[in-house]
Amino acid sequence: MPAASHHVVIIGGGITGLAAAFALTERASGRVPPITCTLIEADDRLGGKILTDRVGGFVIEGGPESFLSQKPWAMELCRQLGLSERLIGTNPERRHTFVLSRGRLRDLPEGLVMGLPTKLAPFLKSDLLSWAGKCRIAAELLLPRARQSVDESLASFFRRRLGDEAFERMIEPLLGGIYAGDAEQLSIEATFPRFREMEREHGSLVRSMLSTRSAPAAEDRRATPFMALQGGLGEMVERLSARLKTVNILTGRRVREFRLQADGLGYQVMLADGSALPADAVVITAPAYDAASLLASLHGPLADELRSIPYMSTATVSLGFRKRDVGHALNGYGFVVPRVEGRSLLASTWTSSKWSHRAPDDSVLLRVYLGGAHDKSVMDRTDSELAELMRSELRGILGIDREPLLVKVYRWPRSMPQYHVGHLQRLDRIEGLLQQTPGIYVAGAGYRGVGIPDCIHDGARAAERVLTHFDKTANPSV
Ligand SMILES: Cc1cc2nc3c(=O)[nH]c(=O)nc-3n(C[C@H](O)[C@H](O)[C@H](O)COP(=O)(O)OP(=O)(O)OC[C@H]3O[C@@H](n4cnc5c(N)ncnc54)[C@H](O)[C@@H]3O)c2cc1C
């Protein structure tokens, strides 16, 4: 007899889980048998790493502040949620980024895309690199392609193509910083495969960049490379949860493990409070180490593979000041910090210069990002120690010595998955092992992209796979 309905349990109410639930309900409407969905989130609130606080006219992002527009999935989701009019691009008047280099802020040359020059004149004039470093980049035009196509680290790839100085002063802070990772270990194939393709297709990254001149335009003409929402990314979470009316959303409930149902066709989702839910399919969007704990009793080798994806801890400190108390012009989007500088921060965003709607007219908002592979002590410090450390960094770098109006510290333990060399092979093994637990899927930042668009895409992909699974079990010959 056909099932009366199919029940899908989604674990995790971060952007991946919410996007999976949204895609599932959109695509499943009108299906026979109908699909019901429960989303379970351990925390008391939805959003996971997306956390927007609105305090005294400040809009403060505790986690992500924006997303890439070139990867279409976040823009598309905003459109589907009716948020297109709320999207904001970066402020064109302050379009400038700095690098803290040899103790002071230096301009990142105009036309640099992901650390590579698309315009020659500003790059040659810049004092970020020595002449020897610039010549080494030019010499890249003459270097042969890699003979073998094996994966390598970001550091190995860029040192080989562009030299040590360009890697340490430009590439590492811009690219390694995104993962808060160790560029000596991060996989080029898993993090920035486009650069490998450029080497393969053009023989040279510089030739490829100079022929492109500018990044391909996003579909929406008003889009800047990074986009945000007027009231913060929390708007996306609020709108999603309001749209998921048919989904049974449980917050403050932690899933503990799964068991195979007696008929062997589905699973029992066991919660920490002792209750259980039957599920015909499960999408796990919790971080890979949590997914590993959930799956340990069901499939040990799968759990071992998931557990071996490393994660780094990070924190952000947001500081609001009266404009008149800040001597610095804050005429840019902020600065990044190369690891070789030996500082305790990875980057700083001058939030109210980069985005509108972030601070009252008479105030400014700054944010500092810290932790990651090169400062593992971040979780050992108290909030007030972190705030004091960052105030002293900003005093030294920007000369801001007045009392802030507002300080907010957000700690993100084991928050940034690290796609080390071999990550793609590990994903293949995980996919292979998941074949042995039909109806269970993993999705989220730990696997195919840490950015919000990738997470949305991965959540929607998992929803699609659930539907295919139901189609196949209903009709095995398909
Ligand atoms: C400080 C910081 C800044 C960032 N900046 C950017 C940025 O500017 N742009 C960008 O695109 N990306 C950025 N990222 C990355 C991006 O925010 C994340 O990769 C993304 O939000 C992860 O979404 P997710 O749904 O996969 O995971 P999460 O948001 O981690 O959600 C997973 C959820 O699962 C829940 N969970 C775990 N275990 C269980 C369980 N057993 N039972 C029930 N629930 C469980 C957790 O509580 C959590 O809510 C940033 C990340 C950090 C930490």
Reported as a single tens digit per residue, the pLDDT across 408-465 is 999 999 999 999 999 999 999 999 999 999 999 999 999 999 999 999 999 999 999 9
**Distance in Å, CA 455 to ligand 1 centroid:** 9
Q: In which domain, by residue range, is 465 found?
A: 6-48+235-309+420-474
Does the residue 107 lie in any domain?
no
pLDDT at residue 2 above 80?
A: no
Last residue of a domain, one of 417, 437, 453: 417
pLDDT of residue 433: 98
Does the residue 54 lie in any domain?
no
**What are the tens digits of pLDDT across the range 162-209?**
999 999 998 999 888 889 999 999 999 999 999 999 999 889 998 888
| Strands across the sheet containing 276-279 | 255-260, 267-271, 276-279
pLDDT of residue 126: 83
Q: 173 and 195 share a domain?
A: yes
- Judging by beta carbons within 10 Å of its beta carbon (0-12, 13-18, 19+), is residue 196 exposed, middle or buried? middle
Instruction: Say whether 309 sits in a helix, a strand or coil.
Output: coil
pLDDT of residue 242: 97
Residue of the nearest CA to atom 7 in ligand 1? 64
Verify whether ligand 1 is closer than 6 Å to residue 254 (CB atom). Answer: yes
What is the reported pTM? 0.95
Does the residue 229 lie in any domain?
no
pLDDT of residue 265: 82
pLDDT of residue 213: 56
Verify whether ligand 1 is closer than 6 Å to residue 455 (CB atom). Answer: yes
Q: 330 and 373 share a domain?
A: yes
Q: 297 and 317 share a domain?
A: no
Any idea which residue has 């950015």 for tokens? Answer: 451
Domain count, the chain: 3
Per the prediction, the chain carries an average pLDDT of 92
Ligand 1 atom with minimal separation from the 443 CA: 26
pLDDT band at 149 (very low <50, low <70, confident <90, very high): confident
CATH number of the domain within which 354 lies: 3.90.660.20
5, 33 Cβ separation under 8 angstroms: yes
Verify whether ligand 1 is closer than 6 Å to residue 11 (CB atom). Answer: yes
pLDDT of residue 375: 87
Q: 189 and 276 share a domain?
A: no
**Distance in Å, CA 61 to ligand 1 centroid:** 13
pLDDT band at 334 (very low <50, low <70, confident <90, very high): very high
Last residue of a domain, one of 212, 244, 268: 212
Q: 262 and 248 share a domain?
A: yes
Q: 199 and 169 share a domain?
A: yes
pLDDT band at 221 (very low <50, low <70, confident <90, very high): low
Angle (CA) 264 268 274, round 5°: 150
**33 cis-preceded (ω within 30 degrees of 0):** yes
Residue of the nearest CA to atom 31 in ligand 1? 14
Ligand 1 atom with minimal separation from the 12 CA: 34
Does the residue 244 lie in any domain?
yes
Last residue of a domain, one of 165, 181, 212: 212
Does the residue 219 lie in any domain?
no
- The DSSP bridge partners found for residue 420 are 186
Ligand 1 atom with minimal separation from the 68 CA: 11
pLDDT at residue 32 above 90?
A: no
pLDDT of residue 476: 74
**Distance in Å, CA 386 to ligand 1 centroid:** 21
Tokens at 45, concatenated: 């609130």
**Distance in Å, CA 176 to ligand 1 centroid:** 18
Q: What is the dihedral of CA 380, 384, 386, 389, to 10 degrees?
A: -130
pLDDT band at 95 (very low <50, low <70, confident <90, very high): confident
**Distance in Å, CA 358 to ligand 1 centroid:** 22
What is the arithmetic mean of pLDDT over 352-365? 96
Q: 426 and 399 share a domain?
A: no
Determine if residue 213 is left, alpha or beta; phi over 0 gives left, psi from -120 to 50 gives alpha, anything else beta. Answer: left
CATH number of the domain within which 208 lies: 1.10.3110.10
What is the arithmetic mean of pLDDT over 229-245? 97
What is the arithmetic mean of pLDDT over 124-150? 88
**Distance in Å, CA 48 to ligand 1 centroid:** 5
What is the arithmetic mean of pLDDT over 41-61? 98
Task: Report the distance separating Cα 220 and Cα 226, nearest Å.
Answer: 12
Task: Report the distance separating Cα 123 and Cα 121, nearest Å.
Answer: 5
pLDDT of residue 110: 81
CATH number of the domain within which 30 lies: 3.50.50.60
pLDDT at residue 215 above 70?
A: no
Selection from 180, 127, 177 nearest residue 335 by Cα: 177
Q: 299 and 424 share a domain?
A: yes
pLDDT of residue 111: 77
Verify whether ligand 1 is closer than 6 Å to residue 18 (CB atom). Answer: no
Q: 430 and 292 share a domain?
A: yes
Verify whether ligand 1 is closer than 6 Å to residue 67 (CB atom). Answer: yes
Does the residue 396 lie in any domain?
yes
**Distance in Å, CA 458 to ligand 1 centroid:** 13
Q: 291 and 320 share a domain?
A: no
What is the arithmetic mean of pLDDT over 72-98? 94
Task: Report the distance separating Cα 411 and Cα 378, nearest Å.
Answer: 8
**What are the tens digits of pLDDT across the range 249-304?**
999 999 999 999 988 789 999 999 999 999 999 999 999 999 999 999 999 999 99
Q: What is the DSSP string of 222-288?
A: T--SEEEETT-THHHHHHHHHH-TTSEEEES--EEEEEE-TTSSSEEEEETTS-EEEESEEEE-S-H
Q: 339 and 386 share a domain?
A: yes
Tell which one of 316, 411, 452, 454 to mutate to probe ligand 1, the residue whose CB is within 8 A of the most ligand atoms.
452
Ligand 1 atom with minimal separation from the 62 CA: 1
Instruction: Say whether 87 sits in a helix, a strand or coil.
Output: strand
Verify whether ligand 1 is closer than 6 Å to residue 40 (CB atom). Answer: yes
Query: How many CB atoms are closer than 10 A to CB 454?
Result: 21
CA torsion sign for 20, 10, 424, 184 is: positive
DSSP state of 43: S
pLDDT of residue 1: 56
Does the residue 224 lie in any domain?
no
Any idea which residue has 């510290």 for tokens? Answer: 409
363, 405 Cβ separation under 8 angstroms: yes
Q: 364 and 428 share a domain?
A: no
What is the arithmetic mean of pLDDT over 455-476? 93
